[in-house]
Amino acid sequence: MRVSHVASSAIAIAFSLLACGAPVPKGDGDGGHGDGQGPPDACVGLQCMQVDCSTMGGGTTTLSGVVYAPNKTLPLYNVTVYVPNSDPGPLTAGATCDRCDNALPGNPVVQTTTDEMGHFVLENVPVVPNLPLVIQVGKWRRQITVATVAACVDTPLDATQTSLPSKASEGDMPQMAITTGGADALECLLPKLGIDPSEFSTDSGTGHVHLYNGNGASKFASGQPNTGTFSDAKTLWNNLDQLKKYDLVIFSCEGSQPSDTRAPASSQQAVFDYANLGGRVFMSHWHNKWLEVGPQEWPTVATFDNNSNNLDTTTGTIDEGFDRGRSFATWMLNVGGSTTRDLIDIKDGRNTCQAVDGQKAQRWVYLDSSTSGGPVGVQNLQFTAPLSAPESDRCGKVVFSDMHVSSGSSSSSGTGFPGGCATSGLTPQEKALAFMFFDIASCVGPIVN
């Protein structure tokens, strides 16, 4: 994982200028101010710069803004925003156990998360010049300094300050691997989300998005920042050590299930072990093979019908039976992904997943015959891993999607990336996939029903 030297240097300089006390180690605190070793009311570092507005005529010292995807236009839900009391330091590269109950790095003074509009209000922030601020979801992290914070009023931030990084010089990004597929060009979603062309490379390159060839694009188009031919997808999923280098792997639909030669039992075990270690796996359509015939307990997660019909056009329904589902439904309305709450227009979808074991996985989008035009089934599901462990001990996430990107994008060996990618705006189902793309990157916590 490459750390933004610009951002980390700015944060380090800010602390050298602002700290009025040494950063305190993590602990259970003395009234929230330290590690239990100091006076109950003692402040530490930037805590000493918080202002009691009741003595200054009222009001509240706040920072506010909207966190966007790297494209600076798509608001994001459930992104953490906080003021650190010490340098957060670097992030660990590759598959790690990132749980929501882990302490945030940098001993936050104040923190909050974005709502379904991507909006945040951070209250009682320290009043200092060059205030350090961290914006983070999973291993997406932007670190900035706010030049001026006025006491007891709001200081609004703009999109240039609050968007997730599009390239390494702007902050931290997860290390991702995408296998291309002739039936679903998932690699084309990432440029629409604003990831810079320089971040796409082969697995031997320096980009944060490594492209592997399934049966789609196999090389870069001319004129791209990086060049080269993509390694075969099986060199990724056949090797646990290779998988472990990545925070997220995405398998694009190839039009049929990978053969036993390309994805033997050893590959299935490697992908299974990777998820259990904290890896994140996004599987499109025919990659249901990993769930159907993978190691136990994956084959018990869902029921598939591989003879089901393709869906040229249909309507999916968002499952609001859990907290994140309700937030997803609200977010889709807010970003124009749904014109009617809970409903998503789907083009070029598939209908292989018929049902989900609700004790092991959560369906996100499903087909209801009353709105789908007849078909029933599950369009998206997610579960945490390892399934055999208590929920409090799980570290990985797995998503399966029957929704293709379907926006005029294509991926073929005869066309170099991103030559087959459409440049039009995000479609409704691409917005749904974008929500899941950033959600799968977030920390793992208890399933709330």
Confidence of residue 15 (pLDDT cuts 50, 70, 90): low
- pLDDT band, very low/low/confident/very high, at 18 (cuts 50, 70, 90): very low
What pLDDT score was predicted for residue 207? 98
Report the C-alpha gap between 30 and 360 in whole angstroms.
Answer: 39
pLDDT in tens, 380-394: 999 999 999 999 999
Residue with tokens 């968002």: 318
DSSP symbols for 96-143: ---BTTSPPTT-EEEEEE--TTSEEEEES----TTEEEEEEETTEEEE
List the chain domain ranges. Answer: 5-170, 176-441
* pLDDT over 50 at 30, yes or no: no
Buried b (16+ CB within 10 A) or exposed e, 316-340: bbbbeebebbebbbbbbbbbebbee
Q: Distance (Å, rounded) from C-alpha 429 to C-alpha 341?
A: 14
| 187-243 pLDDT tens trace | 999 999 999 999 999 999 999 999 999 999 999 999 999 999 999 999 999 999 999
Q: Which secondary structure element, helix H or strand E, spans residue 205, and what is its range?
A: none
Type of residue found at 421: C
According to CATH, the topology of domain 5-170 is: Immunoglobulin-like (2.60.40)
Give the pair of three-digit tokens for residue 5. Answer: 């030297």
The pLDDT, as a whole number, for residue 14 is 52
pTM over 0.85: yes
Stretch 27-43: mean pLDDT, rounded? 50
User: How far is it, in rounded angstroms, from Cα 404 to Cα 67?
Assistant: 26
- Computed over every residue of the chain, the mean pLDDT equals 91
Pick the CATH number of 176-441 from 1.10.10, 1.10.3470, 3.40.50, 2.40.128: 3.40.50
Res. 145: pLDDT tops 70: yes
Residue 56 has a pLDDT of 85
Beta strands 209-213 and 176-180 are parallel
